[in-house]
Amino acid sequence: MKEKVKAGIIGAAGYGGAQIARILLAHPDAELVFAGSRSNKGTPAADVYGNLRGRTQLLYVDDNMDGSEEAGKMLLELADSVDVIFTATPQGACAGMMSEALLERCRIIDLSADFRLKDVSVYEKWYKIEHKAPQYLAEAVYGLTEINREKIRDTRILANPGCYTTSSILACLPPVADGLIDTGTLVVDALSGVSGAGRGAKTANLYCEVNESAKAYGVTNHRHTPEIEEQLSYAKGAGTKPVTLTFTPHLVPMNRGILVTAYASLTEKALAADDPADLIRKSYEQHYGSEYFIRLLGEKGCPETRFVEGSNYVDIGFAVDKRCSRLIMMSALDNLMKGAASQAVQNMNVMFGLDEKAGIDFIPDAP
């Protein structure tokens, strides 16, 4: 019998960490060894998340990462018990705990942005904090499975992308990579459910603040902007002008989900085709046709968040606006799943040579 991958979670009481726990508890090839939560230390996980009742007796363990010698020793003891640790923590926490001693014991899948950007100055500019482990940026792999699968297999540090970035990059990457849009004209509008802001109590996220309302935020300065630009620049290719775009996120009154609508002018290459829409359709099929978790809706296929909820799927559609010579790219995903937890488990599956679909092959929950 094949030995199961032993996993632990730091930050298991947040929405993302709780989703990872839920997935791992039913994963055929993995075992959840510990779930950490400093504020809930000693509390049964099922008392905090009632959906876990009858499925686990785990108590939350202290996952203090304050940088003290005692915390460092405790972290290494936890690492000795597992093959992989998921860190669902605020920005800066994972970088603050990173060390060779830790990486000699287990592999890390980080759900924060600590290792997503390769340029430490860009990270510090957009996140307004000092990066505490820049020496590991070069080896960390960006965990968008569909574009970095081979690199993911052997990495020690996996930078798991977030919800806005996953949805935006996957929607735009094929026409960017194939030179079908002018990236200097790229505009990305994204809508998010309230769970994307996390479980912490914030006035702006109270029911009466978000219900029956919608708003833009982080206009011109949202910190996921450079991440989207960096990954699309890689897709565009070395020696080309880096991608710059306008990214505007919006908060809408739903629990979960991301809907991206992106716009860009078609290039001469696309406009010269007998049928630009057919050329674009073939581009998406070439890049994603064999990807299990990407569902291509084709031209004028409009994704809906309700049809990806609770799943690892990304639905992608597009439309050509002939009147304006512009391409409209659309995508939808569940921000807590493909935008966080199930994507992290998908990456774990790749890292440990498991069936990539293991534990995450959920049919979306609709209605």
Q: How many CB atoms lie within 10 A of CB 90?
A: 16
Rounded Cα distance, 140 and 40, in Å: 30
Rounded distance between C-alpha atoms, residue 32 and residue 11, angstroms: 14
Partners of 6 in beta bridges: 31
Tokens 């991301």 belong to 258
Mind telling me the catalytic residues? 163
Single-letter code of the amino acid located at 190: A
Q: Which residue's structure tokens are 């790219």?
A: 329
Q: How far is CA 279 from CA 243, 293, 332, in A?
A: 22, 22, 22
At CA 194, angle to CA 193 and CA 197, rounded to 5? 115
Closest of 99, 163, 156, 95 to residue 127, by C-alpha:
95
One-letter amino acid of 20: I
